[in-house]
Amino acid sequence: MMKQNQLFIATFSNDAVRLARAYGIGLELNHTCISEMLDLSNRDALLEEIRRDMDASGADTPQKLLLHGPFTEIYPAAIDYRARELGMQRLNEAYEVAAALGVTRMIVHNGWLPFIYFKSWQAEKGALFWQAFLRDKPANFELCIENVLEDEPDMLVDMMQQIDDPRIRLCLDIGHANAVTAKNLPVTRWIQRLAPYLAHFHLHNNDGSGDSHAPFDAGSMDMQEILQTIDRCCADDVTYTIEARDPLPCLAWLKAHQYL
């Protein structure tokens, strides 16, 4: 069952910094999601802003921090080698930010584009790309690869079976899965299929028609069933980030259901 020290809140959420301190939970830092924020000319201001949020939230140790890496135009399976080089450059810049802050876990998007890349291509090239990215990183630095437009979990399983690095795991964004998956493939099936590779979850709800980042009780997913499936199928040390735009109802829901 989820423990307080396994819970984070995304900094793009309303009042995230204050709520992190009030509830004693960690922060998932979204300051580097937009790639151009990683330009070296922005580095000092970026680090200053992140450290200010860390101090204000009380999330000032590696155990209480995650960094969400850049996702704009990051395509690990790009056919054009220059596109892959750009992605690698931006991700390495994000790593430099993480290292400066002492953060040892980074969330990254898988970058699959339907109708552009075949799934087998994405799995093969993604495995190569992520292993190459981690090759020169410290042994304690971990990567969690997040689903976005994937309409089923098997492509991620295929990729993970080709990866030979225990530092690379998966982040299941249940809202993304719910928004792009057919109704006959519930998110609980995603959890069951990906369970051996899952290290982190992004939690928010929607009605299945779009990625609205709604509170836990405002959508078509039964959050109690989701968390029970995680408890049953996944490792005890998986972690969670509240990614609802309005996180206060989510915290109230977790407290009411005795998760906090």
DSSP secondary structure string for all residues of 148-181: SS-SSSHHHHHHHHT---TTEEEEEEHHHHHHHS
Residue 76 C-beta-side C-alpha neighbours within 13 Å:
25
How far apart, in whole angstroms, are the C-alpha atoms of residue 33 and residue 128? 22
How far apart, in whole angstroms, are the C-alpha atoms of residue 13 and residue 39? 24
- Count of domains forming the chain: 1
**CATH number assigned to the domain comprising residue 234:** 3.20.20.150
**Can you give the residue range of the structural domain that contains 97?**
4-256
At residue 182, the pLDDT reads: 87
At residue 187, the pLDDT reads: 98
**Six-digit token pair at 37?**
């924020």
- Whole-model pTM: value is 0.97
Q: Can you list the residues of the chain whose pLDDT is less than 70?
A: none
